[in-house]
Amino acid sequence: KTTVYITKNALTIGILRVDAHVDDETGDAWVPVTGRKFPEFVRRLDVHRTLPPARERAEHLRVAKIQSLLKQIKKLETLSIKEMP
């Protein structure tokens, strides 16, 4: 097992520091989850061996989410509600 930082749920619960089985070839990880029989799969984009890259990824996710929400707001502002017959 290797200690890694997981950013899969960084916007909801934060960056997780866990001991996981990491596939050296792909960089993907299998993270043990309390109360579950099988570990959870985490893709390599969300698996980091040190904290600084994990923080960078979390910041990227935060900025992307803000951009997505701003786009949604703009769409809602131009939306007109039509009455159905």
Average of per-residue pLDDT across 59-76: 97
Residue 82: predicted pLDDT: 86
- Residue-wise pLDDT for 6-60, tens only, equals 999 999 999 999 999 999 899 999 988 778 888 889 999 999 999 999 999 999 9
Residues 6+ away with beta carbon under 8 Å from 54: 5, 6, 7, 10, 15, 48
State residue 68's pLDDT score.
Answer: 98
Q: What is the pTM of this model?
A: 0.81
Q: Tell me how far the alpha carbon of residue 28 is from its chain's centroid.
A: 14
Rg of the chain in Å (alpha carbons):
18
Sheet (strand 29-31) strand order = 40-42, 29-31, 16-22, 2-6, 47-48
